[in-house]
């Protein structure tokens, strides 16, 4: 009890000192800065953002400016650039005004202790995928993996869904997408080994977007612990790859290619950790909400099924998918796009101003952080008619939507390099799923939680009904 009282007293003193320091710092704000607020000491307006990001942004756009406003997350001075013009400005000036920025919380999870304990800002080159690694994510390289991924998906559906009356799809989607990512990036095929990693990666992805407090009991603390477990496993994998390379084994996955390129164990581990998290979590979220929207709309399910059965009819029995099949899944991809429009797998990302720049009549100083978010356009009635209606036809019609309004993968030089990888994993999953099962959502009113990365509160339980062709 005494320890608890001392802790409370310490926090009161800490926040009191922080408040006056924060207020004094705020009093010297340049009058030409974008309008906005700073929120509470230390945490700024982070809590308001995490509770309801869409409301947070829309309220401040109305109150301050529809183009740009300033805020504060954990003591970081941040501006949020809004709307399609803001997206265009940001994506078109990536190398001129902006540099990549990784929050300290993410550096602690993904990078070495040396980086974590320094004040160093990681450069674009340090965060950029190596050129040969980026090549693996291009269509000309992915074509070699479609059949293998198709085979893995079929096995996963048979093992985990057949014979089940009800399944929590969020859990399953994270498991299958991590399995695919481990196969593609690490060359791992051992189910038991991958199963051990699923829970650890879930803790990391959950902790990334929570308060970065490394205190026992917090999500971030569990994420730090989980990142340590993953790093140890990656060290074992890298050692195995080095041994295989030394024995003359051929290059078959991204990790082996990194070894061949002469990258250090530390660099390989950092890069692989990042791409694994990105390569499974956002894809899993996209598939999960696809399942939700389609499970609530039988007419859309039947249109997807018809498209996928036509593809199957053009193939020999037991013939696996190939890249050309993906190009035929136009309606299925329109449904995926509409899912990402209504519930984006991730709401945006950060940059850092590498120079002073002006936008919307205001000046943003060098060193300030810049956040762009899909929330300012993708559910905005100015750009999408009836934005809360689920209507895949908007991605099939001849009328093109305004540029820079649908940006789930970002844009410009830093557009998500894994866009094509995500597309083929999602479509291969859909192809196999709809041919085997119909489904219905157990609770259509299930809440969507999460700030930066939305997720269904109960894990999206669905009732499965086998299809017999």
Annotated binding site for heme: 416
Binding residues: 416
Helix 169-181, helix 265-295: angle, nearest 10: 140
- The whole-angstrom separation of Cα 155 and Cα 371 is 40
Tokens of 278: 């990105």
CA dihedral 436, 302, 377, 205 (to 10 degrees): -10
Report the 10 Å Cβ neighbour count for 169. Answer: 25
Question: CA-based angle 128:271:118, to the nearest 5?
Answer: 80
Q: From CA 105, how far away is CA 52, in angstroms rounded?
A: 21
Hey, what's the torsion of the CAs at 398, 402, 405, 409, to 10 degrees? 60
CA–CA separation, 275 and 110 (whole Å): 10
Within 10 A of 214 (CB to CB), how many other CB atoms are there?
14
Q: Which two tokens stand for residue 368?
A: 């300030």
User: Could you tell me the sign of the dihedral formed by the alpha carbons of 104, 105, 109, 114, in that order?
Assistant: positive
The DSSP 8-state label assigned to residue 142 in this structure reads: H
How many Cβ atoms are within 10 Å of 428's Cβ, its own excluded?
25
Token code pair at residue 294:
């389609």
Count of C-beta atoms within a 10 Å radius of residue 96? 9
Can you tell me the distance from the alpha carbon of 439 to that of 428, in angstroms, rounded to the nearest whole number?
18
Give 381: exposed, middle or buried? Use CB within 10 Å, 0-12, 13-18, 19+: exposed
How far from each other are the two terminal CA atoms of the chain, in whole angstroms?
Answer: 66
| 462 φ, ψ (degrees, to nearest 5) | -130, 150
| Helix H or strand E segment including 80 | strand 76-81
Token pair of 164 as six digits: 């089940």
- The C-alpha angle 364, 368, 374, rounded to 5 degrees, equals 85
Task: Look up tokens 């039947």; give the residue.
Answer: 302
What is the number of helices (H) and of strands (E) in the chain?
Answer: 20, 12
């Amino acid at each position: 009890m005494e320890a608890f009282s001392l802790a409370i007293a310490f926090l009161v003193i800490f926040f009191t000192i922080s408040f006056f320091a924060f207020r004094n710092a705020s009093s010297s704000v340049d009058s030409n800065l974008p309008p906005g607020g700073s929120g509470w000491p230390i945490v700024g307006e982070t809590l308001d953002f995490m509770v309801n990001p869409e409301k947070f942004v829309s309220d401040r756009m109305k109150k301050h400016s529809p183009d740009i406003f300033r805020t504060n997350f954990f003591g970081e001075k941040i501006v949020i650039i809004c709307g399609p013009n803001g997206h265009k400005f940001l994506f078109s000036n990536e190398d001129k005004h902006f540099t990549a920025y990784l929050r300290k919380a993410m550096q602690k999870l993904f990078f070495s202790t040396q980086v974590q304990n320094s004040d160093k800002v990681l450069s674009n080159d340090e965060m950029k995928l190596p050129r040969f690694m980026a090549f693996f994510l291009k269509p000309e390289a992915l074509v070699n993996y479609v059949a293998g991924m198709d085979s893995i998906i079929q096995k996963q559906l048979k093992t985990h869904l057949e014979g089940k009356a009800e399944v929590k799809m969020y859990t399953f989607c994270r498991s299958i997408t991590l399995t695919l990512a481990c196969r593609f990036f690490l060359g791992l095929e051992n189910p038991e080994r991958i199963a051990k990693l699923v829970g650890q990666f879930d803790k990391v992805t959950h902790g990334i977007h929570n308060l970065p407090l490394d205190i026992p009991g917090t999500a971030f603390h569990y994420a730090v612990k989980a990142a340590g477990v993953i790093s140890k496993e990656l060290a074992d994998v890298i050692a195995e790859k080095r041994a295989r390379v030394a024995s003359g084994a051929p290059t078959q996955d991204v990790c082996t290619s990194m070894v061949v390129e002469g990258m250090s164990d530390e660099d390989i581990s950092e890069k692989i950790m990042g791409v694994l998290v990105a390569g499974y979590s956002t894809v899993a979220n996209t598939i999960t909400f696809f399942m939700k929207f389609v499970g609530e709309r039988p007419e859309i399910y039947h249109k997807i099924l018809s498209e996928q059965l036509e593809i199957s009819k053009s193939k020999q029995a037991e013939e696996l998918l190939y890249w050309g099949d993906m190009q035929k899944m136009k309606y299925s991809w329109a449904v995926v796009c509409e899912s990402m429009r209504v519930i984006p797998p991730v709401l945006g990302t950060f940059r850092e101003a590498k120079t002073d720049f002006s936008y919307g009549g205001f000046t943003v100083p060098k060193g300030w952080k810049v956040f762009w978010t899909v929330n300012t356009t993708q559910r905005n009635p100015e750009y999408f008619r009836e934005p809360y209606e689920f209507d895949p036809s908007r991605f099939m019609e001849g009328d093109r939507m305004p540029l820079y309004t649908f940006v789930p993968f970002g844009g410009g030089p830093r557009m998500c390099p894994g866009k094509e990888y995500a597309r083929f994993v999602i479509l291969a999953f859909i192809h196999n799923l709809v041919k085997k099962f119909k489904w219905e959502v157990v609770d259509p009113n299930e809440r969507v939680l999460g700030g930066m990365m939305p997720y269904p509160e109960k894990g999206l339980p669905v009732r499965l009904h086998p299809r017999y062709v």
